[in-house]
Structure 1
């Protein structure tokens, strides 16, 4: 392979000249090199290692560039960054690292390129291309990273116990790369993750969630979650999922393994949406089943109100993982809470009023809900699979018809509270809420159209029943 081809962007010659100006050697290392060899498209995050001061090199590069872009300096980490065109370029001095037992933040000393490559997480991320004029484009691959790319293997440069114990986030990264690239984690490395799994406790929740999101956004997320479960990491991160694992049997009656079912649903939804929050909803849609599981002789296994219980669990889970407790969390809660509604509709004769209520309750997220529910079809019976999908097509068609006619999505009552107050010369009172609620119910049931005149007439009748006197 011609590695010089990777360095055709003029920025690399500019960095090479800047390094020469200040008398240091420089290399591009890590993901940029890996993705070039894998032909994964242009990598926009570029890591530069200087055998000397990375900060000094960044400043010299900025000086040599037209318009001298601003250099962000992170003194604590000895790094600097600048943006050139649409690339984020980070500069660091070559270093060797040592760690304490209770922190993933290393004690850093200046080092050689070899020291820097030793500290990298995986062989496929330790490859470097020289930017020095006399060896421009030469590959330095001390751990046979190219071979590991060819064989699709995730392997650590040093003893995996040292690599993972030093920085336990690397265990998550190993699983994430295996998921994204469809690689296999080397057996010794996988065993090491299992041995070091408890070390994940020292990693901040925010960093863990970054890796979880990348796994969730991959083409086949189940690969990552199966590895997380196999290595024991999932128990520490998402015990709500591992609680779904296993099949119980009482008097010959069993239920499906809801853990493996969940992973099928996540893989299904990954084919139809890039929305990470909808994928989270798929991952968590059945978490209420573990605490609500019961067996009775009459009906067998039940999971009554698991959607309601699951939606409450979403808040606790998001809070524990320090995920956003905003509209994103509320969206996931709503999807979990409503996750069975379209399924019920698809099994029954679909009435207009049931569809109106679904549209009203789901609001702007009705399409997301349908995507989630279709992903929830995991039956292996071809006839049933075809039938369920056909039923969902009927529900979708009905949603379109009802919405076009009744405009229930993002419903606003045709009669406002102010209009009711004016009509009956009322101050804010309970009666206003009662009238508004009755009008809404009448529209959802199809007793009156979603129009002002019909709602106004009903308002007058309702007021009369409540003993109110119209002033108009």
Structure 2
């Protein structure tokens, strides 16, 4: 392979020239090199390693560029960054690191290229391309990263116990790369993750969530969550999921393993949407089943109100992991809370009123809800599988038909509270709410069309029933 092809962008020649002027050696290292070899498309994050000051090199490169971009300096970490041609280019000086037991923040000293490659997380991320004038484009691969790329293996450059204990986030990264790339984690490395799993407790939730997002955004997220569960990491990160694992049996009656079912649902939904938060909803849609699981002789295993319980758990989970408690969290809550509605609907005769209520409650998210519920069909019985999907097709068609006719999505009542007050000379009172509720229910049930005239007539009738007199001037 001609590695010079990776360095065709003019920026690399500019870095090479600037390095020579400063009298330092420089290299492209890490993900950019890995992804070029894997032919994974354009890599917009470039790590430049300087055997010397990375900050000084960044400033010299910025001066040599036509637009002289601003250099962001992070003195604490000895790094600097600039943006050029839509690429984030980070400069760092070669270093060696030592760690203490209770922190993933290392004690950093200046080091050689070898020191820096030794401290890298995986062999496939330790490869570097030389930017010196004489060896421009030469590959430096001390740990046979190329071999591991070809064999599709995730392996640490040094002892995996040391690598993972020093920086436990690397355990999450190993699993994330295995998921994204479809690679196998080397046996010794996997066993080391299991041994060091408790060390994940020193990593901030924010850093963990970044890796969880990347696992969820991959083509087959179940790979990552199976690794997380088997190594014991999931117990520390998402105990709500590990609580779903296992099958109980009482008097010969069992229930399905809701953990493995959940992973099937996540893989199913990943085939149909890139919406990260809808994928989160798929991951969490059954978390309420563990605390609501009960057995009775009459009906067997039940999970009554698990959607309601699950929606409450979503808030606490997001808060614990320091995830956003905004509209994204509310969207996931809503999807979890409504996750069984279309399933129940698809099992019965699909009535207009039931579909109207579904659209009314789901609003703009009705398509997302249907996508989630279709992903929830994991039966291995072909007859049942086809039946459920055909029923969902009918529900989808009914949604389009009902919405076109009745306009209940993001429903606004044809009669406002102000008009009810004016009509009956009322001040704010319970009667206004009662009349509005009657009109809403009549529209959702299909007793009246979603139109002003019909709603006005019903308002007058309901007002009369409540003993209210209409204002003749209204």
What is the TM-score of this pair, normalised by structure 2? 0.99
Match in the other structure for 2:352: 352
Is the aligned partner of 1:190 residue 2:190? yes
Match in the other structure for 1:56: 56
Match in the other structure for 1:235: 235
Match in the other structure for 1:376: 376
Residues 285-300 of structure 1 mapped to structure 2, 5 A cutoff: 285-300=285-300
1:68-92 CA distance string (max 9 Å, x none) = 1100000010000000011000000
Match in the other structure for 1:169: 169
What is the TM-score of this pair, normalised by structure 1? 1.00
Q: Secondary structure at the match of 1:190?
A: helix
Q: Secondary structure at the match of 2:134?
A: helix
Q: Secondary structure at the match of 1:49?
A: strand
C-alpha distance in structure 2 between counterparts of 1:456 and 1:370, whole Å: 34
C-alpha distance in structure 2 between counterparts of 1:412 and 1:18, whole Å: 64
C-alpha distance in structure 2 between counterparts of 1:140 and 1:470, whole Å: 88
By how many angstroms is 1:465 displaced? Answer: 1.1
Match in the other structure for 1:18: 18
Match in the other structure for 2:341: 341
Q: Secondary structure at the match of 1:132?
A: coil
Match in the other structure for 1:271: 271
Q: Secondary structure at the match of 2:96?
A: strand
Q: Secondary structure at the match of 2:90?
A: strand
Match in the other structure for 1:250: 250
1:214-254 CA distance string (max 9 Å, x none) = 00000000000000000000000000000000001111111
C-alpha distance in structure 1 between counterparts of 2:277 and 2:84, whole Å: 32
Q: Secondary structure at the match of 2:15?
A: helix
Match in the other structure for 1:124: 124
Residues 414-425 of structure 1 mapped to structure 2, 5 A cutoff: 414-425=414-425
C-alpha distance in structure 2 between counterparts of 1:67 and 1:120, whole Å: 33
Aligned residues: 472
By how many angstroms is 1:379 displaced? Answer: 0.5
Is the aligned partner of 1:139 residue 2:142? no
By how many angstroms is 1:207 displaced? Answer: 0.4
By how many angstroms is 1:467 displaced? Answer: 1.2
Match in the other structure for 2:92: 92
Is the aligned partner of 1:202 residue 2:202? yes
Q: Secondary structure at the match of 1:40?
A: coil
By how many angstroms is 1:428 displaced? Answer: 1.1
Structure 2: gaps (5+ residues): none
Q: Secondary structure at the match of 1:27?
A: strand
Match in the other structure for 2:224: 224
C-alpha distance in structure 1 between counterparts of 2:223 and 2:348, whole Å: 35
Match in the other structure for 2:101: 101
C-alpha distance in structure 2 between counterparts of 1:351 and 1:39, whole Å: 52
Is the aligned partner of 1:70 residue 2:70? yes
C-alpha distance in structure 2 between counterparts of 1:312 and 1:293, whole Å: 16
Match in the other structure for 1:149: 149
By how many angstroms is 1:277 displaced? Answer: 0.3
Q: Secondary structure at the match of 1:322?
A: coil
Match in the other structure for 2:211: 211
Q: Secondary structure at the match of 1:312?
A: helix
Q: Secondary structure at the match of 1:133?
A: coil
By how many angstroms is 1:67 displaced? Answer: 1.7
By how many angstroms is 1:21 displaced? Answer: 1.0
Is the aligned partner of 1:40 residue 2:33? no
1:287-333 CA distance string (max 9 Å, x none) = 01111111111111111111111111101111110111111011100
By how many angstroms is 1:430 displaced? Answer: 1.1
C-alpha distance in structure 2 between counterparts of 1:416 and 1:277, whole Å: 34
C-alpha distance in structure 2 between counterparts of 1:17 and 1:413, whole Å: 69
RMSD over equivalenced CA pairs, Å:
0.5
Q: Secondary structure at the match of 1:47?
A: strand
C-alpha distance in structure 2 between counterparts of 1:159 and 1:382, whole Å: 48
C-alpha distance in structure 2 between counterparts of 1:362 and 1:41, whole Å: 38
C-alpha distance in structure 2 between counterparts of 1:262 and 1:452, whole Å: 45
Match in the other structure for 2:316: 316
Structure 1: gaps (5+ residues): none
